[in-house]
Amino acid sequence: MTVIQDLPPEVLYRILELVEESRDVSMATSLANSSLVARAWREPAQEVLLENVNPTYLRPYRLATGLRSIAGKTLGDVHLHGWWHAQDMLDTLHEHDIAARGLGIINTHSNDVDLSGMSIKFLAGLKSLRIAGYFAGQPEIPQNTTLKLKVLGFDIAQPPPLPFLESLFQAAPFLTYLELPSDGMWPLPEEYYPILSSIAPRLQHLTISAITAPIAFDSLSFVASCTSLRSLELQHGTPSNINKMLTAVSTTLLVLGTELDSMMCQLVGTMDGIAELTALLDRPALSALKRWRITSKHLPAE
């Protein structure tokens, strides 16, 4: 007779992932209890639990103690806030040889975080890197290094140093997901255009502002150069600027995300607003669309 303890590890791991994905308030307790059910459950339950440990808000006097207990392990996403001991967090992760699958750096000024001390081992293990702030220094990426990085995001108004981006793109062959959040009002320095153009043909997902003001960034030309695009997320959208962006798309999209601006939010519940949005489905780029997610600060995802 087969019992649940005899399940293949990958099946058990997926079951525990579903517990995590439930986002129930007792999720952490459930995973901790699951690790005590049987020996076969311990490792996968602890691994899923570790992926959801967020040490971001640990106070300095608890930081070293808390992270020492998981030395040598791999966390899920780690977020560094410039106003909350960001450098202490990064230094402690390195001290205890703790890896992360994702790293976010936000609200930092130039002297809040120094990335020159980031080990290549830590950087090579990242699958996602999102930067919305300034930082000092940059990690040195040796030649012939291959990174696991698949997702990169940075604010157009606060781009990382150009040499860092160049070395990152060169070492990240799996990078196909780019996020360029922006309010469309701050210009991207022109010296960044060539490096972004070099990565455009391999991008399969792009997040970008639908505001097409040339002073900020020639987003229409950039979208047109993304010849492998399958998923597009547009911020600050109106039917007019979304239509412009879709006209520029040179591929057939499977997934579309649109974040509506505040004025459009007021119209979306009216017949005219709905008609304007549904008319976009006639665009050739959406002929094979499988999912359209509509969001805003005021509306849930659809």
Percent of the chain with pLDDT over 90: 27
Query: How many Cβ atoms sit within 10 Å of the Cβ of residue 22?
Result: 11
Q: What amino acid is encoded at 254 in this protein?
A: L
Q: Is it the case that residue 25 has pLDDT exceeding 50?
A: no
State yes or no: pLDDT of 300 exceeds 90.
Answer: no
Asked whether residue 48 carries a pLDDT value surpassing 90, the answer given is: no
Cα(153)–Cα(104) distance, integer angstroms:
9
In this predicted structure, what is the pLDDT of residue 302?
39
Which of 202, 186, 209 has the alpha carbon at shortest distance from 257? 209
Measure the CA–CA gap between 221 and 49, rounded to whole angstroms.
Answer: 43
pLDDT at residue 161 greater than cutoff 80: yes
Does the pLDDT at position 281 exceed 50?
Answer: yes
Ranked by mean pLDDT, the top range of 22-31, 80-89, 105-114, 144-153 is 144-153
pLDDT band at 298 (very low <50, low <70, confident <90, very high): very low
Closest by CA position to 294, among listed 253, 265, 266: 265
* pLDDT-derived band at 24, boundaries 50, 70, 90: low
Q: 10-19, 140-149, 173-182, 218-227 — which is least confidently predicted?
A: 10-19
pLDDT at residue 181, as a whole number: 83
How many whole angstroms separate alpha carbon 277 and alpha carbon 125?
41
State phi, psi for 152 to the nearest 5 degrees: -130, 135
pLDDT higher than threshold 90 for residue 153: yes
**Continuous H helices in the chain:** 9-21, 27-34, 39-50, 60-68, 86-95, 120-125, 162-171, 193-199, 219-224, 239-248, 262-267, 271-278
Percent of the chain with pLDDT over 70: 71
Per-residue model confidence (pLDDT) at position 301 = 41
- The Cα 141–Cα 273 span in angstroms is 49
Calpha distance 77→210 (Å, rounded): 28
**pLDDT tens for each residue of 225-274:** 999 999 999 988 788 888 999 999 999 999 999 887 655 555 554 545 67
> Residue 66: pLDDT above 70?
no
Q: In whole angstroms, give the CA distance from residue 31 to residue 57.
A: 21
Identify the residue with better confidence: 130 or 29: 130
- pLDDT at 14 > cutoff 50: yes
